Amino acid sequence: MDRDVEEIRRRAQERVAGRSSMVMDGDVIEELARAHERHAQRVREAAAPLGEVGRFNHLGETTEGRTVTAHYRASASDGPDSLKNSMVEIASAADKIVGGLRAVAKVLGETESDSVHSIENARGEF
């Protein structure tokens, strides 16, 4: 059976050789947290220029020009449901996920440490 397991592992390693991996240092939860941090940063960077949309009336000082410009501005950056605000909310949600992941990692680490100590203490009793 061990040979089968080793063969499966070898084939799997061959299949993923050269592919990028999210796990760089062996800590899957921390790597996932870092990925969410990168995502939040990219979203914030993409949202920043949206503040400039609708700042200049390209259609002229007409009713239509002012109206279209105001709608563009509201949709892109100033309105409560604007694209920029939605992107900022997405980045904030990613930040919350990062905090949650790190909190889980901390609890798991503490639990693992407590378990190791319990096992060591139990071994000392025998």
Measured between alpha carbons, how far is 73 from 52 in angstroms, rounded to an integer? 8
Residue 94 lies in a domain: yes
In the chain, DSSP finds a helix count (H) and a strand count (E) of 4, 0
> In tens digits, what is the pLDDT along the chain, a chain of 126 residues?
467 767 777 787 777 677 666 556 667 888 889 999 999 999 999 999 998 988 899 889 999 999 999 999 999 988 889 999 999 999 999 999 999 999 998 888 888 777 777 777 777 665
The set of residues, in sequence order, having a beta carbon less than 8 Å from that of 57 and lying 6+ positions away, is 65, 66, 69
Residue 73 lies in a domain: yes
Measured between alpha carbons, how far is 29 from 100 in angstroms, rounded to an integer? 10
Residue 103 lies in a domain: yes
Residue 8 lies in a domain: no
For tokens 């941090």, the residue is 37
Quickly count: other Cβ atoms within 10 Å of residue 31's Cβ. 16
Q: CA 103, 45, 67: angle at the middle one, nearest 5?
A: 125
Quickly count: other Cβ atoms within 10 Å of residue 39's Cβ. 17
Residue 6 lies in a domain: no
Tally of structural domains, the chain: 1
Residue 13 lies in a domain: no
Q: What pTM does this model have? A: 0.66
Q: What pLDDT was estimated at residue 23?
A: 56
Q: What pLDDT was estimated at residue 115?
A: 76
Residue 52 lies in a domain: yes
For CA atoms 23, 24, 25, 30, give the dihedral sign: negative
Quickly count: other Cβ atoms within 10 Å of residue 82's Cβ. 20
Instruction: For residue 28, give its domain range.
Output: 19-125
